[in-house]
Structure 1
Amino acid sequence: MKISSITFKEPPVYHEFPPLYEGLGLPELSSFIQQRFEFAYTLGKVERTGLGSIRFYKRQGDFEVLIPDKLPGVGPIKLLNLKRLLLEESKTAFIENIESEPEKRKVYYGEFRRPRKDAE
């Protein structure tokens, strides 16, 4: 398996969670920076394309590649290898995009508490 190209589709987006949820230690409720990309990969003699995104979790300092759709010819083991290759290829460009972006696009998440029973 080989990565042919990676093209970032939009600028990085900052996802901010309230401090209440940051302390839980759950990656899915931790603030992160995400950027979507399109990639081309070669599997055997066939070149195919896919969509994915790279995330940087600020608190943990971890990077993660997400691929939302199933890719033809890619099973669980090949998917892990593909994510590892994509992370190696896109990490430095992603960091450069974060540092060079003059206007930061932010998404804020509110608190997810249930309303009180006596409140309307």
Structure 2
Amino acid sequence: MKISSISFKEPPVYHEFPPLYEGLGLLEVSSFIQQRFEFAYTLGKVEKTGLGSIRLYKLRGDLEVHISDKLPGVVPIKLQQLKCLLLEKAKTAFIENIESEPEKRKVYYGEFRRTGKDAE
């Protein structure tokens, strides 16, 4: 398996969660910076394309690659290898994009509290 190209589709987006949720330590409610990309990869003799995103979790400082669609012919073990290859290829460019972006696009998540009699 080989990655032939990666191109970012949009600037990085900052996803901010309220401090109430940050303190829980759950990855799904932790603030992160995300950027979407398109990539081309070779599997056997066939070149295919896919869409994915790379995330930097602020709290832990971890980078992760997420692939949004199922890729034909890619089994779970190959998918994990593909994610590792994409992470290595996209990591440097992603960090440069974060540092060079003058206007930061942010998405804020609100607090989800129960109201009225459901709160008891």
Name the TM-score class by shorter chain: over 0.9
1:33 & 1:12 partners in 2: Cα distance? 6
> What does residue 18 of structure 1 align with?
18
Correspondence list, 1:1-120, <5 A: 1-117=1-117
User: TM-score under structure 1 normalisation?
Assistant: 0.97
Deviation at 1:71, TM superposition (A): 0.2
2:118 & 2:33 partners in 1: Cα distance? 38
Q: Which runs of 5+ in 1 are unaligned?
A: none
What are the superposed Cα offsets for residues 3-32 of structure 1, whole Å, 9 maximum, x if unpaired? 000000000000000000001010110000
Deviation at 1:114, TM superposition (A): 1.6
Deviation at 1:84, TM superposition (A): 0.3
| 1:117 alignment partner, SS class | helix
User: TM-score under structure 2 normalisation?
Assistant: 0.97
Residues paired across the two proteins, number: 119
2:53 & 2:115 partners in 1: Cα distance? 34
Deviation at 1:118, TM superposition (A): 8.0
What are the superposed Cα offsets for residues 18-62 of structure 1, whole Å, 9 maximum, x if unpaired? 000001010110000000000000000000000000000001000
Deviation at 1:95, TM superposition (A): 0.1
Q: Which runs of 4+ in 1 moved over 4 A?
A: none
1:52 & 1:41 partners in 2: Cα distance? 12
- Could you tell me which amino acid in structure 1 is paired with residue 64 of structure 2? E
- Could you tell me which amino acid in structure 2 is paired with residue 84 of structure 1? C
Structure 1 residues 77 and 21 mapped into 2: Cα distance closer, same or farther (>3 Å)? same
- Could you tell me which amino acid in structure 2 is paired with residue 79 of structure 1? L
1:98 & 1:118 partners in 2: Cα distance? 42
